[in-house]
Structure 1
Amino acid sequence: MAWSDKYIGIPYLDRGRGFDGCDCWGLARLVYARELGIALPSYTGAYSSAEEAAEVAALLDTRNRMQTWQQVSTPRPFDLILYRHGRLSTHVAIVIDDYRMLHIQSDDAAKVESVDDPRWQARLVGFYRHVHTRLKED
């Protein structure tokens, strides 16, 4: 059984942060807490979806990447994949292995999809590794 199996089927819930429902950031946060013991920011306060989208994009911007996230060319399990949604880089997925990712979108449940799927490749911004996973694995 892969670590990702227990997350498949979690329903989409805007601002959700648990097994009862998640948005894409909530799913990443849940996986990082449960599988890696790393607490990511919640972003569950009073916010609009557009504001959260901007915060998630800012989380992985150049200044913050140097502190917490590093862009990598060869992804490993648990790296985050950042995708564009419209003009903003706001959708995240979690790398399972060389070919698969775990993610969730509105009106769907958490599922596994191919990293190489053309509809995702066209929106790919990059792969990012959390500094604490680097310390544990490097």
Structure 2
Amino acid sequence: MKRFALGVFLLISLVMAGSYTVRPGDTLWRISREQGVDLTTLTLANHLKNTALHPGQRLIIPELHVAIKGDTLWSLARRYNTTVAEIKVLNGLQSNELRVGQRLWIPAQEKREEPVNVIAIARSYLGYPYRYGGAGPNSFDCSGFVQYVYGKLGIKLPRTAAAQWSALPAAAEPEPGDLVFFSFSGNRIDHVGIYLGNGRFIHANSYKKKIVIEDLNAPWYQRVYRGSKRVNPPPQTAIR
């Protein structure tokens, strides 16, 4: 019996998100019952203003996760390629605290087009060591990493984060491949990374001593985040 219960628990905790195409005669209430998602959650996940549907409309079905020991909103956001804010909105959470066994709906993420060259090259250096002054190919500091990755595409960038900030045009909202900048010192640009999409960025982290992917929306990064800049010309090939 215990083995059966554990199997049910694991199955529930790994329910996969998907999509549903509305058929003639469908109602939002019927779809929510068939998909096992409550009506409010389905409405929020699809940003619907009312319950009106039309045939052919595509609905996102969110993913169900049951919290286990060690789960945090930050770890779930990283695992599911979403943000803490989106998880909180979809589940009506007022705090960041989770309890074991808590059922959480995770926003399903649409596949986005990403610059294949920049993203693929940057990801290929995950785990490489951080070294102050490092500009590759075996170790990097933050601006050296960014310069090296774009250099592989034949795009020349300045050497320091401050110079990169000054040289590039601003991006209103970061898109995959854009550079994201920070000011840990409080009065100048002193850190940079490459935005991956879905609130994540890759950078040479001096504290963790390696190339890592992290959540741009984490409080410690939002406090020092200064904005994003776009590298021109952007890569032309995209992953679909």
TM-score of Structure 1 vs Structure 2, range by shorter chain: 0.7 to 0.9
- Identical positions, percent: 28
1:70 CA drift (Å): 1.1
Cα-to-partner distance string for 1:55-101 (whole Å, 9 max, x where unaligned): 5324423xx3xxxx111122111111010021221100100113210
Q: Report what 1:33 is aligned to.
A: 151
Normalising by structure 1, report the TM-score.
0.74
Q: Report what 1:21 is aligned to.
A: 139
1:124 CA drift (Å): 0.7
Q: Within the alignment, does 1:92 sit opposite 2:192 as a pair?
A: yes
> Matches of 2:163 and 2:146 in 1, distance apart?
16
Q: Within the alignment, does 1:113 sit opposite 2:231 as a pair?
A: no
Normalising by structure 2, report the TM-score.
0.44
Greater Cα radius of gyration, structure 1 or 2: 2
Q: Within the alignment, does 1:104 sit opposite 2:204 as a pair?
A: yes
Consecutive unaligned residues in structure 1, runs of 5 or more: 43-54
Compared with structure 1, are the counterparts of its residues 41 and 59 closer, same or farther at alpha carbon in structure 2 (3 Å cutoff)?
closer
Q: Report what 1:126 is aligned to.
A: 227
Compared with structure 1, are the counterparts of its residues 58 and 19 closer, same or farther at alpha carbon in structure 2 (3 Å cutoff)?
closer
What SS does the corresponding residue of 2:130 show, helix, strand or coil? coil
* Residue 165 (structure 2) aligned to one of 54, 60, 64: 60
What SS does the corresponding residue of 1:81 show, helix, strand or coil? strand
> Matches of 1:94 and 1:24 in 2, distance apart?
10
**In angstroms, what is the RMSD of aligned CA positions?**
2.3
- Native 8 Å contact 2:142 2:161 kept in 1: no
Q: Which ranges of 4 or more aligned residues in structure 1 deviate by more than 6 Å?
A: none
The aligned amino acid for 2:223 is: A
- Native 8 Å contact 1:29 1:40 kept in 2: yes
Compared with structure 1, are the counterparts of its residues 126 and 27 closer, same or farther at alpha carbon in structure 2 (3 Å cutoff)?
same
- Native 8 Å contact 2:205 2:212 kept in 1: no
Consecutive unaligned residues in structure 2, runs of 5 or more: 1-115
- Native 8 Å contact 1:10 1:19 kept in 2: no
> Matches of 1:59 and 1:80 in 2, distance apart?
9
What SS does the corresponding residue of 1:27 show, helix, strand or coil? helix
* Residue 180 (structure 2) aligned to one of 81, 84, 97: 81
> Matches of 1:40 and 1:58 in 2, distance apart?
9
